[in-house]
Chain A
């Protein structure tokens, strides 16, 4: 009899357990891992905090390496297995919105008090598409900062402040470069990657140019862009060989081994440099004399998927992750929430005010659902420019290809 009672009690417990679990919303959250910063520990702590504040929700975090992330998300959406909420690269938002894969969060964001003034303006814009808001800005950074090796510049008699202007940067690169000795002035890169595009864009933006004009047509063949591209081409003699297959990562290697005086990276580079033996500094990009450098935004937004049955819980989670007291703990770029960013930069980065100024002034890449095709054409343009082809002809070819997309 006793055995029977025990069995009945156990059976009751086993059947009740799933019912208890069903009361909780299980939220699937996907994020990509860009660095080896150990961030997931902080994310885990933040998730525990969220679950404590929201006892009706359990969050399952799936972290996917960056190179696989886009493919995994795409496959999940196509296969009907999308997560409830995920980080989306700024440049994917328009495509996911146009595909109807992610929700317009305009009303939910307004109701939660998430407004543009709480975030970097360019980051907010990067989540906008055709009047809707398809993501909450999560983290940001800006391409590019010109990081310099102070010892190499000093040896060549270069004032680091001069790097802020085009003339100064070129003169510095020329003064430092000694190709026979394997020493190079400026780390240009033009491989088939997005870092190629963002650096080229920032030179165009800093000269008052654009990638796409107001009407959506290509503006890379306009005088401001041509001038910027011609300037970039003029830096080639001072860059390491192999630009067309080099990435920002390759330039970092040369910078860290003392062969390269100036590398282009976002602020994310600082933790790596802080651990190195290099005496380094940075300036906020570079622009023609009298103009202010304008960077290109990079970063991620939190998007809620249309197929999610847990949109309310997902929105609460997005609100939580972008909160002033949380945002800085769960990002390894810069928090998109400006107040969180100020605190994060003060605690973790050198030159926080300069970084804030560059972030406030940056522009997003074109907000087009066909951006990835535009970027592919831009990579080819950069390769044409760096390989010495006629700049105006290369820009015309790129614009013909971009305009043919419409």
Chain B
């Protein structure tokens, strides 16, 4: 028995060691660094406690970054999941050339983020872009719209590009979930006279509820930490309109050598993400309690 326990520890040790070295050590280091006034030009950091948090949170740009991050995450996750779900419903039907259709739908997700960003940058170009050419030829505008250069449209434009890249991931997960829904239940509901919407609401959605929650949590974390599309499209501009936590942290750390402030933003972003994840977990538990038989 004791031998088995030691064997278990031995098998677990490499994974724990890897996690400790590559995940927890840098994470704890970041938290510690956030309490120090550190920058490249100040190689002997001074302990400042929460003063750096006060300084960072006392600036309007922190709250702009937080608001941008929330808008960005909520919109991308919502659109990606809704579109992904309906695409999955479509792909779940008997379509001609089904394999080919599924492969084509998956294509945006396979492309690297940087490639997607460059592609959309060309499409949004005010002078040469496809989108503006279409709008001008359709008579909807007389001059190209600078989608990425106007603070009122930039965030929407970046969100659209991210949704285009991300929805196939959600579609793939939902497709797998839909295929596992009990056909007999659906047929029984049909015999009982339930229409398509009723079957979707009362049979399909409850059956894949956990998959939806997991998918939403996963896409929330991935989206909140997304960097490359925003960086290549706008670098957080114009006028900070698309600056989210990852772009801000990169700019502070590697663009301006302000490691302490970058760490403070990093810890704040972990806090926000932990809060969002906790809300999802609570929602999941509440849902489970409601469904538990009395």
Contacts and interface: CB of A to CB of B under 8 A. Distances in A.
A192 B40 contact: no
Chain A contact patch, size range: 35 or more
A99 to B, nearest CB: 5
B237 interface: yes
Interface string A269-304: 000000000000000000000000000000000000
Contacts of B234: 192, 245
Q: A interface, by DSSP: helix, strand, loop or mixed? A: helix
Nearest to B43: A99
A372 B255 contact: yes
A335 interface: no
A70 B154 CA distance: 27
B260 interface: no
B41 to A, nearest CB: 4
A74 B20 CA distance: 25
Contact of B145 (A191, A241, A250, A384): A241
Contacts of B236: 192
Counting chain B residues whose Cβ lies within 8 A of the other chain, the interface size class is 20 to 34
Interface in A249-268: 250, 253-254, 259
Contacts of A245: 146, 148-149, 154, 234, 237-238
Contacts, number: 89
Nearest to B241: A244
Interface string B142-166: 1111101111001000000000000
A373 B43 CA distance: 17
> Chain B interface mostly helix, strand, loop or mixed?
loop
A249 B236 CA distance: 19
Interface in A362-403: 369-370, 372-373, 376, 379-380, 383-384, 387
B237 A180 contact: no
A252 B127 CA distance: 13
Interface in A14-58: none
B145 A244 contact: no
A241 B149 contact: yes
Given A245-B148, A369-B41, A380 B239 contact: yes
A71 interface: yes
12 contacts: A70-B254, A95-B41, A95-B257, A98-B41, A101-B40, A191-B238, A244-B237, A245-B148, A372-B257, A373-B256, A373-B258, A383-B238
Interface of A: 70-71, 74, 77-78, 95-96, 98-101, 179-180, 182, 190-193, 240-246, 250, 253-254, 259, 369-370, 372-373, 376, 379-380, 383-384, 387
Q: Which 9 A-B pairs have the closest CB atoms?
A: A242-B146, A244-B238, A245-B149, A192-B235, A242-B149, A244-B149, A241-B126, A242-B126, A98-B41
